[in-house]
Amino acid sequence: MSMSVTITAPSVKHILLDSLVVMKIVKHVDSELHAGISEVSGDACAGVLTGLVFLDDSRLEITNCFPTVRNEPVIDDDANAAAQYEEQKQQEMLDMLRKFRTMNIDYEIVGFYQSHQFGAGFSHDLVESMFDYQAMGPENVVLIYDPIKTRQGQLSLRAWRLSTAALDLASKNDWRPELVKAAGLTYQNMFEELPIIIKSSYLNNVLMSELALSKSYSSEKYSTRHFDLGSKKSLEKSVRAMMANVDELNKSIQSLTKYTIDKQRHDNMVFSMTQKRQQENEARAARGDPPLPMDDIKRQKAPQLQTRNGLLDELLASFDTNALADFSKTVTSENITKLFIAEAVAEEKVQGSKDRTLSSVSSTR
């Protein structure tokens, strides 16, 4: 991922998302979930977003999308087969963009989308993909779709992009604690979220209005799903994922504490050796002898943080935990509200049935 790129601050402040894109993303994810493809391959549903950038009003308009081909397992670690399959994927993507251009559809790539349960799933691969897309265009974003929350009655689509500081570190592929601290980077400012406005056509708005006013349209048939309280499994999964992330963070804290102690010890040793060498050189200069070099002191090996990607995994785990906590908080508050509404509706139905029973008894008398 390390490459020299010119980091430019993005100017887009909000996203105008076409309703067609929303429907295509939902259909793509649901079809793969029902078919069990995600469980077999282990990859998240992903696709490419196309649209236009309007710099005048700082708007990114996403007008279309299409799914990307899933990675096929490589047998016996065949590097040639993996390279051929990657080339085939790129060719299929270019063919789709060429068809968009022929059909007079917006064919400019403005990002990609992925589905993650509970709105979490920020990994090293996702950061690499975000860096590649933002290196192509600073206005590119990633849409994270949560199928669990959507099935519970609330559409969950959030747009993210790497901040300028995170993009700079990703270009260097160096996430050492010193550089992360110097950049002022935390899990809270590593990603930037953009507000999304979903746009529908006028004909679609007229159709929805006619359905709402139509007498044949029965809303009672679909009203019970909004009072669904069966989110125990999803809440349990999110809490278990949070526990796993917290365990990883505890291990990382131990490694970081050891690294900090070793770094302080190393710095103190280098400082004392430098002071001692300077005193020796002053004494040698007074005697007319040549000074001793400092190269052996500079070659003292500094301690290394015992993690694979520096602080990147810790930042991602913290952000992932924050996303899971937001999901749990939202689901819990919504369930409490639904519970009170369900109790009120049940009491009203019971009271109405009692009144009808009393009235029927009085009429028979």
Q: Are residues 265 and 209 in the same domain?
A: no
What integer best gives the mean pLDDT of the chain? 80
Do the Cβ atoms of 3 and 171 come closer than 8 Å? Answer: yes
- Of the ranges 110-114, 214-218, 308-312, 354-358, which is most confident? 110-114
Question: Per mean pLDDT, which of 36-40, 86-90, 141-145, 324-328 is the most reliable?
Answer: 141-145
Give one DSSP letter per residue of 241-290, joined into a string.
HHHHHHHHHHHHHHHHHHHHHHHHHHHHHHHHHHHHHHHHHHHHHHHTPP
Residues facing 14 on adjacent strands? 59
Whether residue 170 is found in the same domain as residue 76: yes
**Minimum mean pLDDT among 175-189, 254-268, 290-304: which range?**
290-304
Residue 129 domain boundaries: 14-217
pLDDT grade for 144, boundaries at 50, 70 and 90: very high
Closest to 178 (Cα-Cα) out of 169, 167, 189: 169
**Considering the domain boundaries, does residue 230 fall inside one?**
no
Examine the fold and report which residue of 173, 201, 217 is the final residue of a domain before the chain moves on.
Answer: 217
Contact call for residues 176 and 143 (beta carbons, < 8 A): no
Percent of the chain with pLDDT over 90: 15
Q: Is residue 197 located within the same domain as residue 344?
A: no
- CATH code of 35's domain: 3.40.140.10
Stretch 115-139: mean pLDDT:
87
Cα dihedral 76, 82, 88, 93 sign: positive
Last residue of a domain, one of 202, 217, 232: 217
Domain tally for the chain? 2
104-108, 113-117, 140-144, 338-342: range with highest mean pLDDT: 140-144
58 is a domain residue = yes
Q: Are residues 59 and 193 in the same domain?
A: yes
On the question of pLDDT at 17 being above 90, the answer is yes
Q: Identify the pLDDT of residue 345.
A: 72
269 and 191 housed in the same domain:
no
Asked if the structure places residue 269 within a domain, the reply is yes
How high is the pLDDT of residue 335? 67
Last residue of a domain, one of 199, 217, 235: 217
Q: Are residue 182 and residue 39 in the same domain, yes or no?
A: yes
Same domain, residue pair 34 and 121: yes
Same domain, 211 and 261: no
**DSSP strand E in the chain: where?**
14-18, 46-54, 59-67, 109-115, 141-145, 157-162, 191-194, 196-199
In a domain, 51, yes or no: yes
* 202 shares its domain with 270: no
Q: Is residue 360 domain-shared with residue 312, that is, in the same domain? A: yes
Query: 3 in a domain, yes or no?
Result: no
Most confident of 73-77, 224-228, 285-289, 344-348: 285-289
Q: How many CA atoms within 13 Å lie on the side-chain side of 325?
A: 10
Mean pLDDT of 120-134: 88
